Amino acid sequence: MATLKQLAFRMARTPASGSLVRFGFAHADRLLPLTSVDRSELAAIYRHPRPVYGTFHHIAVPLRGVPDVFALAHPRHAELRAGLFALIAEARQRAPASVLVNAGPRQDVGQVHFHLTDDTPFSDAIRSEQLTWPDWDAAVRALTSVPDIQERYRAGFSLLQDAGDPRVRLI
């Protein structure tokens, strides 16, 4: 028999639950079945509920409902982006980490979230030399100008910042 926590995670991965998940992070994140690692007024870092990378695998999440990385790029979220990326940068100073955000079918929860891990996610993926940005804010804001972005979105893409590298690449 599945536990309440297992049922909650299964439900969070369904497309219909996106609004509920976003509401939870925006208004009741302390009630979610997640273990907090660090937090600020605008964002929080939690242990990943089902880690798949490295010896540590965390997620950084804005504490406002934001469905995906494209919504995060909107100018109204500039302060939220800054707070989220500052929290991620602080975490990377304490422990070198790769940072990854998924889009399209690779994003399986209806709230934008960034993975932090000491592993190299998608190590076999080709890292684009043409689609590289100096930092997270530039990468997220530039997404809408990427050629064929809608086609890439449907196929599923990720933005990756390798440990020790300030650049963000589309993979």
The total of other beta-carbon atoms located within 10 Å of residue 33's CB is 15
Residues 168 and 133 sit within 8 Å (Cβ to Cβ): yes
Q: Which CATH superfamily is domain 11-119 in?
A: HIT-like (3.30.428.10)
pLDDT at 140 over 80: yes
> How long is the chain?
171
Which comes out higher in pLDDT, residue 32 or 40? 40
The pair phi, psi for residue 46, each rounded to 5°, is -125, 155
More confident call, 29 vs 18: 29
Q: Does the structure show a pLDDT above 70 at 2?
A: no
Sequence letter at residue 48: H
Per-residue confidence (pLDDT) for residue 137, from 0 to 100: 96
How far apart CA 84 and CA 61 sit, in angstroms, is: 7
pLDDT tens for residues 145-165?
A: 888 888 888 888 999 999 999
pLDDT tens, position by position, 71-112: 999 999 999 999 999 999 999 999 999 999 999 888 888 899
Q: What is the pLDDT of residue 31?
A: 84
Are the C-beta atoms of residues 171 and 133 closer than 8 Å to each other?
no
pLDDT one-digit tens code per residue, 37-78: 999 999 999 999 888 888 999 999 999 999 999 999 999 999
Q: What is the per-residue pLDDT across 10-28, written as a single tens digit (0 to 9) for each?
A: 556 566 677 878 888 888 8
Half-sphere exposure of 116 (CA within 13 A, CB side): 24
For residue 27, give Cα distances in angstroms to 20, 133, 153: 10, 32, 28
Query: Residue 9: what pLDDT?
Result: 55
